[in-house]
Amino acid sequence: MSASDDRPAVPAESPSVDPPGQGAATHTTKEPENRWSTAFREIVGGSWGVSVGAVLLAILAGSILIVATDENVRAAAAYFFARPGDMLSAIGSAAGDAYAALFRGSVWNYRADSFADGIRPLMVSLNYATPLIGSGLGLAVGFRAGLFNIGGQGQMILAAIGAGWIGFSLQLPWPLHMLLAIVVGMITGALWAAIAGVLKAVTGAHEVITTIMLNHIAFYLLFFLLATPGLLQAPGSANPKTPPMQSSAVMPKIFGSGYHLHLGFVLALLAVAATWWLMERSKLGFTFRAVGENPRAARVAGIDVGRTTVWVMVVSGALVALAGVTQVLGTSTTGFSTDVDAGMGFDAITVALLGRSNPVGVLGAAILFGAFRAGGATMQAAEGIPIEIVTVIQSLIVLFIAAPPLVRAIFRLPKPGSAPRRKAGDPAKEVAA
């Protein structure tokens, strides 16, 4: 077959005496280890039009769900043929009210009397975005290095344990105490992630399974620590909850006590910059990307793939841990319980995918999803729509983004490049057959 023979190179190349030889991207089909990067390249390669289309489609699907489950719409549907207008207006008000509440809760509260109150939802959104930025960055680093770290939950829990324990048990002056708690939390989270890295490097165990198992183990570990007097449980209480953080360990509010937004958001922004530098400008990041794109070539180039895998997990875990740290030291400082991760670990997957594993993209995606969360909470309170609608919309966005041809077909967007037919698509792929 044509695997080594007759493989045309990509035509974009300037005309040369070379007949087509060993061609492009053979590893995408020949080498399973590299399939991650293929997928991410597909995602990264999609146009922004697809992203916008995917978000619109997902919101549309969400509207259908809201409308279909709305009491008034169903009531009106019962006499649809008698008075169709009733149903249409019920549909309009169900979807309209829902998205109005979403907007009110996430961007600008148009019912507020003052600017200070009106802007508050935006601050709430950014507050929700803070942990998503950290965990999304952690996932993105893993993706770029070919690792699917689904262990966000466990890493956040371990970070909360580390930071929380320092935060409520020690007596230290303000910046020192807070910094120590942050560092310890990031270290415990990173070490927890490193377990999966070591297992992958030493035994080849797939990180998707090991990180998920570590999530459950972390959960029960935290449960045990919270349920056992003398460990994390607040003294004199039988509830599985920690004592509140010392004020010397708490992250200060950025815009004063009127707004929830705290120092964690600044830390998250710093993490965005640091991650960009790490991946694009540092030696370590170079090895991460090389291992992610082609572990075999990396190995031939003298990069220790196993050790790199462990480092990837450590960095990824530390970034995810930042999310856990900001939760317990910034967002809810009155002590935490087993739900400290608040599903952030899984949301981070969608954030990293929507952000195309690019630090700035992750920042944007995290703010968007933070807004969804903030608005979803308002929607739940005002319209009684379960907040899980946000999860549905988020996962639909990622699904649609992952399959650009689907979105293009629905919106009749042009294909990138001029090739009109599927068969004339990517020549590298074609010849791989």
Partner 1 sequence: MSATAPVVRDESPVSESLRHVTVTSKKFPTVFTFMTVVLGLIMLLAPREGETKFRFAADTDFFAIPSVAVPAMPLAWVCLAILVVLTVLSWVLFLQERRTPWALGVLFGLAFLAGFLGWGGAGSVSDFPVVRLVSSSVLLAVPILFGALGGAIGERAGVINIAIEGQLLGSAFVAAVVGSITKNPWAGLLAALLAGALVALVLGIFTITYRVNQVIVGVVLNVLVLGLTTFLFTQVLVPNTSQLNQTVRFPAIRIPVLSEIPIIGPALFRQSIIVYLMYLAVPLVWFALYRTRWGLRLRAVGEHPLAADTVGIKVERVRYRAVLVAGAIVGFGGAYYTLVAVSQFNRNMTAGAGFIALAAVIFGKWDPVRAAMAALLFGFASALEGAMSVVGSPVPSQFMLMLPYVVTLFAVAGLVGRSRAPAASGVAYVKE
Partner 2 sequence: MKLELRGITKRFGSLVANDQIDLVVNPGEIHCLLGENGAGKSTLMNVLYGLYAADEGEVLLDDEVVHFDGPGDAMEAGIGMVHQHFMLVPVFTVAENVMLGHEPTRAGGRLDLEQARAKVREIADRFGFHVDPDAIVEDLPVGVQQRVEIIKALSRDAQVLVFDEPTAVLTPQETDELMAIMRQLRDDGAAIIFITHKLREVREVADRITVIRRGKVVGEAEPTSTDAELASLMVGRSVELVVAKGEPQFSDALLEVENLEIVDRDGLVLVDDVSFEVRGGEILVVAGVQGNGQTELAESLLGLVEPSSGSIRLDGVELVGRSVDGFLREGIGFVPEDRSVDGLVGTFTVAENLMLDRLDGPPFVKGASLQIGARDEFARRAVEEFDIRTQSIHAPAGRLSGGNQQKVVLARELSRELRLLVASQPTRGVDVGSIEFIHERIVATRDAGVPVIVVATELDEALALADRILVMYRGRIVGIVPADTPRDVLGLMMAGIAPEEGSKVA
- The site for partner 1 (CB under 8 A) is made up of 1, 29, 32, 35-36, 38-40, 42, 65, 69, 148, 150, 199, 202-206, 208-210, 212-214, 216-217, 220-221, 223-224, 227-228, 346, 349-350, 353, 385-386, 388-392, 394-396, 398-399, 402-403, 405-406, 423, 429-430, 432-433
As measured in angstroms, the least distance from the Cβ of 117 to partner 2 is: 46
The amino acid sitting at 51 is S
Check residue 405 for interaction with partner 2 (CB under 8 A). no
Distance CA 297, CA 300 (A): 5
Distance CA 293, CA 307 (A): 16
Which of partner 2, partner 1, none binds 289 (CB below 5-8 Å, type-dependent)?
Answer: partner 2
Binding mask 222-261 for partner 2 (x = CB under 8 A): ----------------------------------------
CA nearest 106: which of 340, 341, 387, 326? Answer: 387
Concatenated DSSP letters of 150-203: -THHHHHHHHHHHHHHHHHH----HHHHHHHHHHHHHHHHHHHHHHHHHHHHHH
| C-alpha torsion sign, points 272, 276, 277, 283 | positive
Check residue 9 for interaction with partner 2 (CB under 8 A). yes
> At CB < 8 A and 24+ separation, what contacts does 299-302 make?
none
CA nearest 285: which of 358, 371, 368, 197? Answer: 358
Selected range binding partner 2 among 9-17, 46-54, 118-126, 158-166, rule: CB under 8 A: 9-17
The token pair at 408 is: 């293009």
Q: Which of 125, 287, 358, 378 contacts partner 2 by CB under 8 A?
A: 287
Binding mask 29-48 for partner 2 (x = CB under 8 A): -xx-----x---x-------
Pick the closer one to partner 2 by CB: 293 or 341.
Answer: 293
Residues of 94-125 as b/e, b for ≥16 C-beta within 10 angstroms? bbebbbbbbbbbbbebeeeeeeeebbbbbbbb
As measured in angstroms, the least distance from the Cβ of 10 to partner 2 is: 5
User: CA–CA distance from 303 to each of 145, 193, 291 (Å)?
Assistant: 13, 21, 8
Pick the closer one to partner 2 by CB: 246 or 275.
Answer: 275
Check residue 24 for interaction with partner 2 (CB under 8 A). yes
Quickly count: other Cβ atoms within 10 Å of residue 274's Cβ. 16
Concatenated DSSP letters of 17-73: SPPP-S-TTTHHHH-GGGHHHHHHHHHHHS-HHHHHHHHHHHHHHHHHHHHHT-HHH
Check residue 22 for interaction with partner 2 (CB under 8 A). yes
Check residue 357 for interaction with partner 2 (CB under 8 A). no
As measured in angstroms, the least distance from the Cβ of 31 to partner 2 is: 6
Total site size for partner 2, rule CB under 8 A:
59
Distance CA 129, CA 257 (A): 19
Which of partner 2, partner 1, none binds 174 (CB below 5-8 Å, type-dependent)?
Answer: none
Which of partner 2, partner 1, none binds 239 (CB below 5-8 Å, type-dependent)?
Answer: none
Which of partner 1, partner 2, none binds 290 (CB below 5-8 Å, type-dependent)?
Answer: partner 2
Binding mask 289-308 for partner 2 (x = CB under 8 A): xx--xx-xxxxxxxxx----
As measured in angstroms, the least distance from the Cβ of 318 to partner 1 is: 22
| C-alpha torsion sign, points 417, 422, 427, 429 | positive
User: Which three-class secondary structure state does DSSP give residue 253?
Assistant: strand
**Side-chain half-sphere of 362: how many Cα atoms within 13 Å?**
30
As measured in angstroms, the least distance from the Cβ of 279 to partner 1 is: 20
Pick the closer one to partner 2 by CB: 235 or 417.
Answer: 417
Check residue 273 for interaction with partner 2 (CB under 8 A). no
As measured in angstroms, the least distance from the Cβ of 100 to partner 1 is: 19
What pairs with residue 262 in β-bridges? 253
State the residues that interact with partner 2 by CB under 8 A.
1-14, 16-28, 30-31, 37, 41, 277, 281-284, 286-287, 289-290, 293-294, 296-304, 419, 423-424, 427-428, 430-431, 433
